[in-house]
Amino acid sequence: MEQQFAVRALYQKEWEEAMRLAWDTFLIYEAPDYSLRGVQSFREFIKDPGLKKMFLEGAYQAWGAFEKGIMIGVVSIRNRSHISLLFVDADHHRQGIATALLKHLFSYAKNEMDISEITVNAAPFAIGFYHKIGFQDLGKEKETDGIRYTPMIIRLE
């Protein structure tokens, strides 16, 4: 099946839309596994003016998947090699969008930044997906500020 969406860097004006997509998807798939504190921590993270400022200055990078001009997925990295957010609109799950976003990120990291490994703190809902892509656990599940995650790594070929 031919890919019906495009992946590209987010424009500055798309920040709010990307964070809205992350929040809406988080509420469906991840919030049920988190405490109220975890849900509040995530909301504070995506609403943090400092994070937006870093994005606007180019220090926090993000890409989107777009179908007919509509954002259907988002991935971002911090510290050049750590996946910070990866969300796909609920109506577009299991269509290869998260995989395409990661492949784009991996290519960028390797070819543009000379990065050889990427880390992620995988939410409980996403662990199986990350394993399928090739990530390996770095340890057992942890919790910080109510956010549950399993630290993972992938070495880029």
CATH topology of domain 6-155: Aminopeptidase (3.40.630)
User: Tell me, what's the pLDDT at 3?
Assistant: 63
Report whether pLDDT(2) > 60: no
If you average pLDDT over every residue of the chain, what do you get?
92
Query: Regarding predicted confidence, which is higher, 75 or 95?
Result: 75
Q: What is the mean pLDDT of residues 2-21?
A: 90
Q: What is the mean predicted confidence (pLDDT) over 108-136? A: 91
Q: What is the pLDDT of residue 113?
A: 83
What is the arithmetic mean of pLDDT over 83-103?
A: 92
Calculate ∠ Cα 121-125-128, nearest 5°: 80
